[in-house]
């Protein structure tokens, strides 16, 4: 084939997105203007320059310049002209960049593809994709940056994660925020599920806190206050409340009157009334706290203490939603205390009332002894209302109720640092028995399934989930020690959650035929389909080379949340021969062990180094055979990926086939031939020897398929070459219908991506 028959036209509409260019083969006898007419392009909508074989062609010459090489149209970016038609420096930079790429890189690459001279330079320039990307990961996309922040300060969300935000770690009432969902094993600082309140008993204060661990069932491995197990605090009692169970340790549905805040009670003066509960709510009990901050005594002349008494009265009346009274004041209680002590006295009283809304007031009944030698002060500490009906929680929420006595061991700060190490319980599916009862698991597969099935997830029926693949992948992940240990406590979409869980297992979710499926990037040996010039649409094969640049990473720093310290950690990995001077950072949400982080870091580093060829081709409906992540074989003579064609004759006695195209044997090399099955799959490759001429090949053993050579069925396609190089093996990353054709985009596979150290030796242990 001559150079002139390899003429092509390339449309690059966005110079900053060279991967989105269009490459078309053109008739070399046409002029540039004639070719534009055949494409329905009278004029370009944006300023566009034309290069032929690397040399600019003026618009006036388009009508007389034939396409006998490679013609490149580049749309220039706008802006930077300062208005009024001034010089655009961005265009100048772009033209310099085009000339530099064409001169420096184009020739060697074009020559490697079989071109020569100016045509080699033009072709090479057209297919290079120079990028500033730090990491290239075509099959398993890199995690999105909008993940829970490990940094102090909690990221950019309005309410930080209580688990991942180091400055914000603690127990808070995160109003209007999602109820957390925990998968795997993790430390969590559970949110407050109700307003905490205190009561006094025996002059000791008891704090009542109700926490929400999360949606679903959990195995509580350890309960702690900061870093100390809660068993070390004798003054703390707690209750784990499984989904659907009541809180029995205390009444959690309590409201307080914020206006009551330690006012002193005086004789003859009413303090209040203060509304106890908000409108449209009813209380059945009213709680009152009385404080004597100086104790109750009189210091006598002998140096001892004489007793003193104090008495007070509390009244209430019913009110409506607007605060207007519905009844007269009635007495809740008239109380009296006599003591001789300098110890502050703290008393709590609880009064039963008919269900309703109330306001309360209080006064002192005796006069205050103002002598400096007396402790005779009475203050109103707090007023509480115990709501009727109790709090209603979703049936699938696990709660933690804690009642703690205030001591020197427990401060106000430490009471808000309650955390627990929990492991999620999830149903596990098997083909024999279906779904099990919830069991403790850290599985990636069943976390993925729970997101799809749960009421807080996609709510999909089992028929919409590829459960068989999940069960198979669960065995793979279990054997490797890959787990997902993460807390979703910020609002995310279902698909984002699925992507994060799958990414921890080096997998990608995708939707096919209404079913959510999952594919893992792992070593595959057998292609599912074979494509050659016989079933590739003419002139549709495109190759993009992602060339490394100054911004390309030579190592990967993986950030993870360590289960050893329950703090952010990181590890940097690189392939042999890398300097590690320019590492790219990757935050792997759900990873909690260094070994897991190292495996994923090496995988990404290998993918970044070896997967830098993107191939696009068009075929007919057989293009629907492969799906995302499948391995396919591409045989094509233009980039020297073996040779392809059809078998036109078959001698079953001698195992000899006659080919539609001649093939060449190289002395001293082992040669193989792969055959396409009737279902589109691949048979082989099989060892072959040369026949009597260039179009005959002899199989060493009888192939395991029926070879078609007649008119009753399409002839059997073949791919031929030396062993391990009979075709290009590629992984499918997109399948797009294009009318009656199908466009397949794939990335060239490399065995080193799956080896433990990124070496080319495919026999190395997988990572």
Taking only the tens place, the pLDDT of each residue in 137-155 is: 777 777 665 555 454 434 4
pLDDT tens across 568-611, in order?
999 998 888 877 777 888 889 999 999 999 999 898 888 888 88
Pick the CATH number of 182-249+393-422 from 2.60.40, 1.10.1060, 1.20.120, 1.10.15: 2.60.40
Q: How confident is the model at residue 409 (pLDDT cuts 50, 70, 90)?
A: low
Return the closest-CA partner of residue 671 out of 649, 652, 651, 696.
696
Return the closest-CA partner of residue 524 out of 759, 764, 754.
754
CATH topology of domain 3-115: Ubiquitin-like (UB roll) (3.10.20)
pLDDT tens across 73-126, in order?
888 765 544 444 434 444 444 444 444 334 333 344 344 334 444 443 333 333
Alpha-carbon distance 50 to 47, whole Å?
10
- Quick one: three-class SS letters along 113-130? CCCCHHHHHHHHHHHEEE
Q: Is 711 helix (H, G, I), strand (E, B) or coil?
A: coil
Alpha-carbon distance 201 to 416, whole Å?
22
Q: Of all residues in the chain, what percent carry a pLDDT higher than 70? A: 84
Angstrom distances, CA of residue 628 to CA of 168, 507, 545, 633, 735: 41, 11, 21, 14, 7
pLDDT tens across 260-307, in order?
989 999 999 999 889 999 998 899 999 999 999 999 999 998 888 999
CATH, domain range 254-387: 2.60.120
Domain range annotation of the chain: 3-115, 182-249+393-422, 254-387, 615-754
Alpha-carbon distance 453 to 456, whole Å?
8
Q: Is 662 helix (H, G, I), strand (E, B) or coil?
A: coil
Q: Using an 8 Å Cβ cutoff, are 694 and 664 in contact?
A: yes
Alpha-carbon distance 130 to 72, whole Å?
16
In this predicted structure, which of 363-372, 401-410, 436-445, 455-464 has the lowest mean pLDDT?
401-410
For residue 645, what are its two tokens? 């064609």
Alpha-carbon distance 710 to 708, whole Å?
6
């Amino acid at each position: 084939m001559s150079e002139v028959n390899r003429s092509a036209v390339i449309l690059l509409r966005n110079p900053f997105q060279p991967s989105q260019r269009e490459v078309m083969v053109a008739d070399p006898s046409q002029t540039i203007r004639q070719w534009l007419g055949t494409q329905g392009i009278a004029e370009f909508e944006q300023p566009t320059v034309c290069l032929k074989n690397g040399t600019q062609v003026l618009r006036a010459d388009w009508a007389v310049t034939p396409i006998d090489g490679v013609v490149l149209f580049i749309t220039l970016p706008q802006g930077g002209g300062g208005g009024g038609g001034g010089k655009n420096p961005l265009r100048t930079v772009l033209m310099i960049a085009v000339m530099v790429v064409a001169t420096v890189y184009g020739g060697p690459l074009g020559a490697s593809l079989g071109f020569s001279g100016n045509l080699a330079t033009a072709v090479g320039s057209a297919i290079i994709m120079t990028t500033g990307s730090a990491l290239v990961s075509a099959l398993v996309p890199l995690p999105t940056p909008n993940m829970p922040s490990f940094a102090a300060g909690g990221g950019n969300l309005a309410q930080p994660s209580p688990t991942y935000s180091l400055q914000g770690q603690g127990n808070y009432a995160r109003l209007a925020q999602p109820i957390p969902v925990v998968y795997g094993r993790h430390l969590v600082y559970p949110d407050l599920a109700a307003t905490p309140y205190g009561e006094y008993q025996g002059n000791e204060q008891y704090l009542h806190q109700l926490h929400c661990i999360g949606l679903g069932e959990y195995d509580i491995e350890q309960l702690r206050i900061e870093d100390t197990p809660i068993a070390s605090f004798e003054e703390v009692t707690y209750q784990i409340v499984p989904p659907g169970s009541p809180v029995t340790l205390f009444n959690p549905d309590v409201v307080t009157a914020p206006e009551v805040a330690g006012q002193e009670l005086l004789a003859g003066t009413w303090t209040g009334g203060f509304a106890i509960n908000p409108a449209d709510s009813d209380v059945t009990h009213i709680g009152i706290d009385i404080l004597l901050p100086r104790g109750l005594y009189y210091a006598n002349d002998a140096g001892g203490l004489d007793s003193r008494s104090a008495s007070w009265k509390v009244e209430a009346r019913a009110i409506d939603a607007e605060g207007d009274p519905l009844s007269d004041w009635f007495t809740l209680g008239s109380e009296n205390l006599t003591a001789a002590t300098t110890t502050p006295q703290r008393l709590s009283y609880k009064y039963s009332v008919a269900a309703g809304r109330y306001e309360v007031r209080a006064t002192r009944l005796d006069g205050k002894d103002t002598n400096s030698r007396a402790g005779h002060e009475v203050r109103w500490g707090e007023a509480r209302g115990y709501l009727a009906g109790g709090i209603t929680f979703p049936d699938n929420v696990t709660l933690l109720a804690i009642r703690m006595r205030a001591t020197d061991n427990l401060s106000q700060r430490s009471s808000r640092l309650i955390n627990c190490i929990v492991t999620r319980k999830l149903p596990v599916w098997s083909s024999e028995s279906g779904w099990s009862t919830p069991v403790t698991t850290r599985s990636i597969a069943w976390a993925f399934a729970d997101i799809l099935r749960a009421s807080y997830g996609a709510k999909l029926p089992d028929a919409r989930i590829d459960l068989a693949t999940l069960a198979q992948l669960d065995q793979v992940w279990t054997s490797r020690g890959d787990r997902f240990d993460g807390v979703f406590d910020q609002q995310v979409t279902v698909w984002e959650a699925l992507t994060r869980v799958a990414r921890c297992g080096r997998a990608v979710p995708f939707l096919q035929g209404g079913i959510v499926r999952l594919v893992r990037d792992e070593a595959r040996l057998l292609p599912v389909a074979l494509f050659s010039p016989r079933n590739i649409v003419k002139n549709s094969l495109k190759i993009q080379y992602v060339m490394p640049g100054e911004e390309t990473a030579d190592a990967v720093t993986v950030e993870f949340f360590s289960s050893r310290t329950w703090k952010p950690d990181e590890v940097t990995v690189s392939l042999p021969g890398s300097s590690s001077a320019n590492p790219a950072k990757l935050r792997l949400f759900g990873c909690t062990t260094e070994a897991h982080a190292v495996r994923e870091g090496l995988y990404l580093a290998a993918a970044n180094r070896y997967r830098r060829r993107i191939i696009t081709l068009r075929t007919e409906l057989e293009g629907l055979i492969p799906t995302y992540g499948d391995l396919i074989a591409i045989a094509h003579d233009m980039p020297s990926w073996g040779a392809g064609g059809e078998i036109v004759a078959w001698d079953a006695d001698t195992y000899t086939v006659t080919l539609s195209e001649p093939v060449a044997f190289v002395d001293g090399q082992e040669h193989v031939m792969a055959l396409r099955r009737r279902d589109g799959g691949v048979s082989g490759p099989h060892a072959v020897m040369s026949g009597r001429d260039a179009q005959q090949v002899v199989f060493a053993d009888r192939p395991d398929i029926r070879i078609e050579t007649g008119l009753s069925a399409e002839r059997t396609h073949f791919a031929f070459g030396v062993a391990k190089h009979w075709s290009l093996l590629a992984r499918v990353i997109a399948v797009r219908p294009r009318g009656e054709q199908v466009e397949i985009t794939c990335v060239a596979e490399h065995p080193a991506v799956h080896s433990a150290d990124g070496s080319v030796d495919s026999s190395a242990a997988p990572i």
